[in-house]
Amino acid sequence: MNAPLEEALQIPCGTSTMWAIASHPPRGVATLPIAVLVVVGGPQYRVGSHRQFVSLARALARQGMTTVRFDYRGMGDSAGDLRSFEQVDADIRAALSAMRTLCPTIERFVVWGLCDAAAAALMFATSESTVAGIVAANPWARSAATLGAVHVKHYYTHRLLEAAFWRKLLRGQVDWRQSARSLVNNLRQMRSRRGAAHGQSFQQRMADGLRRYEGELLLIISGSDLTAMEFLEYTRSANEWRGLLEARHVTRVDLPEADHTFSRRLWAEQAEQATIQWVRRLAGAQPPTTNEAT
């Protein structure tokens, strides 16, 4: 299959300019009536860890989805002051506006975000009428309480089942006093969950965005990622999230072995294929055949 067609874009936002790369379907591949905006979170730019967003955008483009990945203001090549994921409302709206200009015949868009970009999408993109779908991969919902709970439930349990841990302990290579202090501290954080969870406003804004959202949500969860486990822990314990992830418009895909950024090619392909199948269904297209798979 031919390579996607790519071009650089300049996106005005306030008094600054953001830079983006658009990946168009290759020649001979029909363009679907839905396009994808990849929102990049964390202290990184539009390429992503181990080029994951480049790979994702090109995989989607090969399946007929025009895909744009961009840098927030103050990040990567984009001008302006550095800002947190809680302050990128205007950036996302400007990128969506640019996509409407880029793709004048397309009326529906999907916003794809990893980690705090997923949190930003749930806060800001859910109010955009043209956003028919959001892909939230390992969303960020950290609080002191959920961090403590996840460490106790996942990290310590895993360590106690490791033969290597017990060998080190018997050889005196483990600072058991420090480990005990860390465990006690995490247990204290767990007990303070109720007060801590409700002191974090951005999680409430995520829930509010999802509650009023009329589109579809694809939730991708990596089984070997503490950030994903924190998100699940938070949504199970916070009243404002009750029932939201069980709604009919939410599709959840679990990748049991994958880490936070899908760092192995197999995991990246699993995340890409989950996205492709979900977006094609959203667009009303037939599922990709074996020969079309990326």
* DSSP SS3 for 49: helix
Residue range 179-208: average pLDDT?
58
Instruction: State both tokens at 151.
Output: 């460490």
116-124 helix and 89-102 helix, angle to the nearest 10 degrees: 80
Give the mean pLDDT of the chain: 86
Residue range 151-166: average pLDDT?
53
| % the chain with pLDDT above 70 | 78
Distance CA 57, CA 236 (A): 32
Instruction: State both tokens at 53.
Output: 């967003």
Contact 121, 92 (CB under 8 A): yes
Terminal-to-terminal C-alpha distance of the chain: 9
* φ/ψ of residue 189, rounded to 5: -65, -40
* Max avg pLDDT among 98-112, 132-146, 196-210, 278-292: 98-112
Distances in Å between the Cα of 238 and the Cα atoms of 200, 242, 283 are 11, 7, 33
The set of residues, in sequence order, having a beta carbon less than 8 Å from that of 93 and lying 6+ positions away, is 124, 128
* DSSP SS3 for 25: coil
pLDDT at 289: 53
Least confident of 18-22, 33-37, 234-238: 234-238
Confidence class for position 163, pLDDT limits 50, 70, 90:
low
Does residue 213 have a pLDDT over 60? yes
pLDDT at 44: 85
* Matching residue, tokens 């080029």: 51
pLDDT at 42: 79
CATH code reported for the domain at 5-143+201-292: 3.40.50.1820
Question: What are the pLDDT digits (tens) for 21-48?
Answer: 999 999 999 999 999 999 998 788 999 9
Question: What are the pLDDT digits (tens) for 114-129?
Answer: 999 999 999 999 999 9
pLDDT at 67: 98
Distance CA 39, CA 118 (A): 8
Distance CA 114, CA 241 (A): 19
pLDDT at 294: 46
Distances in Å between the Cα of 57 and the Cα atoms of 10, 14, 82, 87, 289 are 18, 26, 24, 24, 19
Angle value at C-alpha 242, between 206 and 137, nearest 5 degrees: 45
Does residue 5 have a pLDDT over 70? yes
Q: What is the pTM of this model?
A: 0.82
Between residues 196 and 257, the one the model is more confident about: 257
What are the extents of the domains in the chain?
5-143+201-292, 146-191
